[in-house]
Amino acid sequence: MNQKKLPVQKNDIVTVEIEDLTHEGAGVAKIEGYALFIPNTIPGEVIEAKVLKTNKGYGFAKLLTVKEEVQSRIEPPCPIFHECGGCQIQHLNYEAQLDFKRNQVVNVLERLGGIKDVPVYPTLGMEEPWKYRNKSQVPFGERDGQLIAGFYQKRSHRIIDMDHCIIQQEENDIAIQAIKEIAARYQIKPYDEEKHRGTLRHVVVRYGKKTGELMVVLVTRGKELPHKQNIIDDIKEALPKVTSIVQNINGNKTNVIFGEKTLLLWGEEYIHDYIGDIRFAISARSFYQVNPVQTQVLYEKALEYADLKGHETVIDAYCGIGTISLFLAQKAKKVLGVEIVPEAISDAKHNARINSLDNVDFAVGEAEKVIPWWYSQGVRPEVLVVDPPRKGCDEKLLETIIQMKAERVVYVSCNPATLARDLKVLEEGGYQTKQVQPVDMFPQSTHVESVTQLTLKQ
Ligand code: SAH
C-alpha cells in the first residue's frame, strides 16, 4: 500500500463538509473521493478535523471544531455520552434522529435491494425518548478499594462508575444504586476479570412497567454468595417493588453476561409485563424487547400489515418467547411459532397458557429447517411473519417462503442491510414490497428497526 497516494495523511488538519452518516452514526466527509469517518458530526456541517488513521479505502478523523453548525445539533444531555458509547446520536435532536433512521432504510433498500418507489413512512418515534429501557445490566468492579458499578468505557474493559442513565427507567437506576450500597455493606468482592477472582460480576435488573414487578439478578462467579440471606433481606427492604431475586452463576472467562445456571433466591422465577392486552412472563435470561412502549407500536404495525380476518393460518418465524405470535393469535385462526432457543419456546408455551390462547403451537428448531418441513407436511399459511436476528433470513427459508406462496409476508427487521438483501430475493421470487414503516425502538442509538409488508404479485 502506498500511503503517499492518499489525499490525506495521518495528523493532517482538514476542513470538510459532512455529507452523510454511517449506520454507526459517524459523519462521512469526502476528500477527492476518499472517505473520512468523523464521529460526533452531522451532515451539512462544516468542520475542522484531525486525521487519526488512514487505510487504503477510507480513514478516521477526530472533530476539532464545528465551523458551520446545523440546527439539528444539540448539546448531548448525558454528561458521560462521549465516554460511554451506549448511545451514539444524542448530539442530534430527536427529529433529526428519526429522519436519520428513515433515510438509512430508504438508502439501503435502494442501494442493496434495488427497491425504489416503495413508501417508506416517517419513523414512528416516542413522545418522550428517554427513560425507556426496561433492563439494565451493569458490570461491578473496584477502584481505590471502593466498589463501583457502571459501564465499560468505549472500546475498553475499564469500568466507569455511574449512578444515573437517562435512557433507563428510573426504577432500574434506583435498584442498581441500592444493590451497590448493599454489596458494599457486606464487602462483597467484585469480579476481577484479569485474575478471574472475586464474586459479583454483573447485576441485571428488569422491570415490568405495566405491572410494577421488579427482578434482580445477581451474576456471580461461583455458587457461593457471602451473607446471602442478609443481602436478600436488604434488597427486599430497599426495593419494595422487587418480586423476584435470582442468582445466575457464570464461572467462565468470558464477556457474556449470563452463565448456564440460575437459582431462585426469593420470590418468583418470572416477572410479568403487558404488551397491549397480552401478559408475558419473563425469566432472567429470556429475550424480551427492551422498549415496551415502542414494542407495542411495532407489534401493532406488524398486526396491521398481517391484515388478518380470522380464517388465516400464520407462521411466526424467529418467535422468541412468542410475543408476536400471541399478538397475532388474537386475530388469526391458527399461529405456528418457531424459534431456536428451547427455553424461549418453553416461555412461549407458558405465555400462551396464561393468556388462554389455545390456537398457537410452538416448535423448537431452526426456522430454515422447521418451516420447509411444515411445508412438506402440507402447511399452507396465508400470512408469514419473520423477525430474524441481524444476519437476516437464511436463504433456505426465503426459498420456502417463495414456494409457499403466502398471500402476505410481514418482515420485522433490526438491520436494514439484510432486510434489503432478503427483499430482493423475495421480489425475484414473486413478491412485491408494498410499504415499510421504520419504528424507533432505541432512541439516542443508531439501531434501525422497521416493519415491511410484502404481497404476492398478481
Ligand atoms: N420475535 C421475537 C424475537 C426476535 S429476536 C420478539 O419480538 O421478541 C430473533 C430471535 O430469533 C431470537 O429469539 C433468536 O434466538 C432466534 N433465532 C436466531 N436464529 C434462528 C434460527 N435459525 N431459527 C429460528 N430462530 C432463530
Q: What is the DSSP string of 329-348?
A: HTTSSEEEEEES-HHHHHHH
Distance 185 CA to ligand 1 centre (A): 40
Q: What does the DSSP assignment read for 82-133?
A: HHH-S-S-TTB-HHHHHHHHHHHHHHHHHHHH---SS-BPPPB--SS-SS-B
Residue 154 pLDDT level (bands cut at 50, 70, 90): confident
Kindly report the number of other CB atoms within 10 A of residue 283's CB atom: 22
H/E segment holding residue 139: strand 135-143
Distance 370 CA to ligand 1 centre (A): 13
Pocket test for ligand 1, best of 134, 282, 287, 386 (most atoms within 8 A of CB): 287
Q: What is the pLDDT of residue 289?
A: 93
Q: What does the DSSP assignment read for 368-429?
A: HHHHHHHHHTT---SEEEE---TT---HHHHHHHHHHT-SEEEEEES-HHHHHHHHHHHHHT
Domain 98-127+291-456 fold is Rossmann fold (3.40.50)
> CA-based Rg of the chain, rounded to a whole angstrom?
24
Q: Is 387 annotated as a binding residue?
A: yes
**Known active-site residue 414:** yes
Cell 422497521 found at:
450
SS3 content of the chain, % helix, strand, coil (to 5): 25, 35, 40
* Tens digits of residue pLDDT in 92-102: 999 999 999 99
DSSP, res 197: B
Q: How far apart are CA 242 and CA 445, in angstroms?
A: 29
Domain 3-68: CATH superfamily, name plus number: Nucleic acid-binding proteins (2.40.50.140)
* Tens digits of residue pLDDT in 193-240: 899 999 999 999 999 999 999 999 999 999 999 999 999 999 999 999
Report the mean per-residue pLDDT for the chain: 95
Q: What is the pLDDT of residue 450?
A: 98
Q: Does domain 135-275 have CATH number 3.40.1080.10?
A: no
Residue 84 pLDDT level (bands cut at 50, 70, 90): confident
Domains 3-68 and 135-275 alike in fold: yes
Domain boundaries, the chain: 3-68, 98-127+291-456, 135-275
72 or 155, which is more confident: 72
Distance 49 CA to ligand 1 centre (A): 41
Helices (H), 214-321: 228-238, 292-306
Q: How far apart are CA 26 and CA 20, in angstroms?
A: 8
* Ligand 1 contact via 319 beta carbon (within 6 Å): yes
Sheet (strand 360-364) strand order: 360-364, 334-339, 313-317, 383-386, 408-413, 449-456, 431-439
* Ligand 1 contact via 414 beta carbon (within 6 Å): no
Q: Could you give the C-alpha distances from 432 to 278, 300, 304, 425, 453, in angstroms and in order?
A: 31, 21, 17, 11, 9
Pocket test for ligand 1, best of 278, 294, 318 (most atoms within 8 A of CB): 318
Q: What would the grid cell of residue 219 be? A: 451474576
Atom 21 (ligand 1): residue with closest C-alpha?
A: 366
Q: What is the pLDDT of residue 23?
A: 79
Tell me if 313 sits within 8 A of 332, measured CB to CB: yes
